[in-house]
Chain A
Amino acid sequence: MRNSEIKNLFTKADEQVHVDEMRKQKAYHAMMKEMEKQRIPMMSTKNILFHQFWYMDKLFFAVYGVLICLGIIFISALQYTGVNQNEMITVCMVGAGILSITSISVIDKLFFGKMAELGESCCFNTKQCVAAWLVLSGMINVMMLFLIAGYLNYHWKVGLVQVGLYILTPYLVSSITSLEILSMEKKGKNSVLFGMSAIFLSISYVIIGSIPGVLFTAALWIWGAAFLLSGLLLVMQIKKLFNKMEKGEVLCMN
């Protein structure tokens, strides 16, 4: 049997297969309907974000910004009062910790500042909103930490690695604590915990900074170990928070 014979069979069969014009028209109309549906104007992602940013309560952004400015002024003022190197490092450690706690506590406030409606727009879920803020605030914080590190390195002649460890370790520890509070938090009722943790951690950093020899080069390995450990814990903490968010246990607006 040759292919042409099968082809011939198809050709003959084709002559008997007639297309129902009604069904063809039905398909055409279904396509037109689909086309109309697709032409309903949709707001672009950029516009949704822009409108949402415009709509949300920006008080906490202002507080965050003011806090950063106050920190800079406070450090500058301290310099003129004649503090020593170790005291200034301790102040910067406290500053880094407060910066971290503030930026994470803003996540809690964002959900009362109508940011969560982004999630309801079906374009972004809560996890994406939180992740977006963590990235944004993280970028601002890193910039601030760079400024502090640059200042300590330039003015107080502290090695960059040392400065990095002294600032980043308290920053990470504060982040872990804040994320833990956020994971426990139920509809913002425990917001006061953020304040308490900021005070408690600040006192802890002052105590750590005043331990003799803790800011010497010889103690750097302890700082390095603490930094690595807190980095690891932070990753685990973020994972835990996102898992809880996915289950709707925290930051759920429904």
Chain B
Amino acid sequence: MKDSELIQKVHSGNKEAVGIIIEQYYADIYRFCLYMVQTEDDAYDITQETFLKFMKYGTSYRHNNLKGYLLTIARNICFNYFRDKKEKVTAVEWEEIDKIPNHGDKLAEAEDAIYLRNLLQELSQDIKEVIILRIYEEMKFKDIAKIMGCSVSTTKSRFRLGVNQLKKIMENDNEK
């Protein structure tokens, strides 16, 4: 089913369509929020707020990119979150590895998750957002620029800056 049809069905009161949207996009939006805010509880809250806002205000949305629209809402809520709460500067503790469900004792992969979150923590919000949207969500620069409300060239330069910063951080980590 096309996104536009799905949206139309949701706004005409189709419960099944709501279920489909949650099934299709909840995990993606949650992960995006988690990489952005780093805290699981807050990521869940923001994800729920994103879907609620979509229900409340998404009636006028007519385009075909529902995921992009949800990401835009999530992104705005994340930025409100940062503004209201002031981002915590403490990195994710390595002790948190124990809290992560460890399927089949894949400790190395659990380390990757924490390592990635700590890496992202080192980046500024704007740069982190571009990195997540470009590499993780595999979005085009044009679409990222639309979500972020800036030019494509700004998005590209933020991306290059982000990749360079990540490279430096990882090299430093390797030296240690």
Contact = CB atoms under 8 A, between A and B. Distances in A.
B112 A30 contact: no
B167 interface: yes
B166 A1 contact: yes
Which applies to chain B's interface (DSSP): helix, strand, loop or mixed? helix
Interface string B2-30: 00000000100101001100100011001
A27 B51 contact: yes
Contact of B19 (A18, A20, A28): A28
Contacts of B167: 1
A143 to B, nearest CB: 38
A41 to B, nearest CB: 12
B55 A35 contact: yes
Contact of B48 (A16, A19, A30, A39): A30
Interface residues of B, number: 37
B112 A9 contact: yes
A6 B135 contact: yes
B52 interface: yes
Give the size category of A's interface with B: 20 to 34
Contacts of A34: 52, 55-56
A23 interface: yes
Interface string B101-145: 100001001101101110100000000000100111000000000
Contact of A16 (B56, B100, B135): B100
Contacts of B106: 15-16
Interface in B55-71: 55-56
Nearest 5 pairs of A and B residues by beta carbon: A16-B113, A1-B167, A12-B112, A13-B113, A27-B48
Interface of B: 10, 13, 15, 18-19, 22, 26-27, 30-31, 34, 44, 47-48, 51-52, 55-56, 100-101, 106, 109-110, 112-113, 115-117, 119, 131, 134-136, 163, 166-167, 170
